[in-house]
């Protein structure tokens, strides 16, 4: 199993550009998440999904959009990139039966710089 994979690993965007960060998991997990980590800080939840077709906002959703058309994939869309979106983005997945969730497995991250 590859676990959680993310592409690209690095990206530099100009202000106002858009891009999609890709995330895929092959563990048949029902829950998937997107986090961002700013330097020296913990992670903050951007969006999450409890299953295909169902998404919800986390703590810091502004400036981002997500979709989940399959169990395996959970792309994160940045529209009109801003310098404040410079960060490292992590995708994660877990198995959960509400309200209980289990270990979250993380991808290697995408380092994004907006200039």
Partner 1 sequence: KQEVTQIPAALSVPEGENLVLNCSFTDSAIYNLQWFRQDPGKGLTSLLLIQSSQREQTSGRLNASLDKSSGRSTLYIAASQPGDSATYLCAVDNQGGKLIFGQGTELSVKP
- In the complex, the residues that contact partner 1 under the rule CB under 8 A are 4, 31, 33, 40-45, 48, 50, 58, 90, 92, 94, 96, 98-109
Instruction: Report, in Å, the least distance between residue 21 CB and partner 1.
Output: 14
Do 27 and 102 form a contact (C-beta atoms < 8 A)?
A: no
Residue 64 · residue 81 · CB < 8 Å? no
In whole angstroms, the minimum distance from the beta carbon of 80 to partner 1 comes to 26
Nearer to partner 1, 38 or 79 (CB): 38
Nearer to partner 1 (CB atom), residue 2 or residue 14: 2
Sheet with 4-7, edge to edge strand ranges: 4-7, 19-25, 76-78, 64-66
Q: How far is the CB of 3 from partner 1 (least distance, A)?
A: 10
Residues across the chain: 115
Burial class (CB in 10 A: 0-12, 13-18, 19+), 54: exposed
Q: Which tokens belong to 41?
A: 């800080």
Taking the least distance from each CB to partner 1, the nearer of 4 and 66 is 4
Q: How far is the CB of 106 from partner 1 (least distance, A)?
A: 4
Give whichever of 45 and 82 is closer to partner 1, judged by the CB atom. 45
């Amino acid at each position: 199993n590859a676990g959680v994979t993310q592409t690209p690993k690095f990206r530099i965007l100009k202000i106002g550009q858009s891009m999609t960060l890709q995330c895929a998991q092959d563990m048949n997990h029902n829950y998937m998440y997107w986090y961002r980590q700013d330097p020296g800080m913990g992670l903050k939840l951007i969006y999450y999904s409890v299953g295909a077709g169902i998404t919800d906002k986390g703590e810091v959703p502004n400036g981002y959009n997500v979709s989940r058309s399959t169990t395996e994939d959970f792309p994160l869309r940045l529209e009109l990139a801003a310098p404040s979106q410079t960060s490292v983005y992590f995708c994660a997945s877990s198995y959960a039966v509400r309200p209980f969730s289990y270990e979250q497995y993380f991808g290697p991250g995408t380092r994004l710089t907006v200039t």
